Amino acid sequence: MLRILYFAWLRDRLGRSGETLDLPQGARSVQDLVDQLRARGGEYGEIFARPELIRVAVNQSFAAISAPIAANDEIAFFPPVTGG
């Protein structure tokens, strides 16, 4: 099972802080997962329509959208972080 976490405005828009799901068939990268989530439509479709506006971590390490994923991974989605 994948553990997916949503932070900040993603959590607010989706109305949930996370979910668990089986690794979708054919999903081998974060991009594949994003494509599957976007295909849900609604808020998911809007949020994941522009993945360049979202950052991702796989197993608590920053990752590129091309990063590989596997069953039992934790995937976190959050907005870009800025410092001051």
Instruction: Count, in order, helices (H) and strands (E) of the chain.
Output: 3, 5
pLDDT tens-digit map of 14-51: 999 999 999 988 899 999 999 999 999 999 999 999 98
Number of Cβ atoms within 10 Å of the Cβ of 29:
16
Tell whether 32 is covered by a domain: yes
Tell whether 83 is covered by a domain: no
Q: Whole domain around residue 38: which residue ranges?
A: 2-78
Identify the pLDDT of residue 83: 56
CA 70 to each of CA 9, 59, 62: distance values in angstroms, whole numbers, following the listed order? 26, 10, 16
Mean pLDDT of 2-22: 96
Q: Is the pLDDT of residue 72 over 90?
A: yes
Structural domains of the chain, count:
1
**Can you tell me whether residue 74 is helix, strand or coil?**
strand
Tell whether 70 is covered by a domain: yes
Tell whether 84 is covered by a domain: no
Residue type at 11?
A: R
Average pLDDT, the chain: 93
**CATH at 8:** 3.10.20.30
